[in-house]
Amino acid sequence: MRVTLAQHLRAIIMGPPGSGKGTVAGRIVAAFPEMQHRSSGDLLRAQIQKGTDLGKEAQTYINEGKLVPDDLVTKLILAEIPETGSFLLDGFPRTEGQAEVLSQHVDIETVIDLDVPFDVIKDRLTSRWTHPASGRVYNTGFSPPKVAGIDDETGEPLIQRDDDKPETVENRLNIYEAQCKPLRAYYDQKNVLNRFSGSETNVIWPKVKDFLDGKM
């Protein structure tokens, strides 16, 4: 049965890396097909692939190992926000400054904030091992290789990506928290922040769906 939102809902989803944000966002747009999903990462990659002026400018920063500046990301997202209907912004805004610029163009009615304990995320991310040639990913917690450290199909050694090493994961989470604390406070003051806590996506998702069902 197709579920529809009785009103236009302009929403944001946020959560630390490894929180399951992408999975929850996917389930939201599957359950509510009229909700248009706008991911800052996907949009940026599309602009780069198309070779647009904005994409070329972003690529220069990426090539230098720098973050794409706030104003460039903001310009991209504002150009892609639907003029009508419901939408879900994913990966934007990341800072209070971006949120303030966004508020000048559209009223955000709901912020879905995924609250997953950092210890759970660290364990989840640092348990990932990859076969570099194929991209196959294993997790020592719930989908380990048949032989520790070895790819099931080729017998070649697995590696742990730099992004998945404990010190890197902890640094990413600390940066996220420092960046998002003022953003969370900004939306909390506007009474649109809704936190959903849990250690697993399958625990958090029903809470999110019940909440969105209540918006019908």
Alpha helices in 86-117 (DSSP H): 96-103
**pLDDT tens, 154-174?**
999 999 988 888 898 899 899
| Active site members | 21, 94, 128, 161, 172
Which two structure tokens, joined as six digits, stand for 156?
């070649």
Cβ-based neighbours of 177, under 8 Å, separated by 6 or more: 16, 118
Is residue 3 pLDDT above 70, yes or no? no
Is residue 72 pLDDT above 70, yes or no? yes
For residue 19, the 8-state DSSP code is S
**Overall average pLDDT of the 13-35 stretch:** 93
Is residue 42 pLDDT above 90, yes or no? no
- Which pLDDT does position 149 carry in this prediction? 94
Which two structure tokens, joined as six digits, stand for 21?
């944000």
**pLDDT tens, 85-137?**
999 999 999 899 999 999 999 999 999 999 999 999 998 889 989 999 998 98
Which two structure tokens, joined as six digits, stand for 215?
């918006």
Residue with tokens 């040639």: 133
Q: Is the four-CA dihedral 27, 33, 37, 43 of positive or negative sign?
A: positive
**pLDDT tens, 171-196?**
989 989 998 999 999 999 999 999 99
Query: Which residue type sits at 26?
Result: G
Q: How confident is the model at residue 82 (pLDDT cuts 50, 70, 90)?
A: confident
- Which pLDDT does position 1 carry in this prediction? 38
- Which pLDDT does position 75 carry in this prediction? 86
Domains of the chain: 10-213 (3.40.50.300)
**Overall average pLDDT of the 50-70 stretch:** 84
- Which pLDDT does position 2 carry in this prediction? 40
Is residue 4 pLDDT above 70, yes or no? no
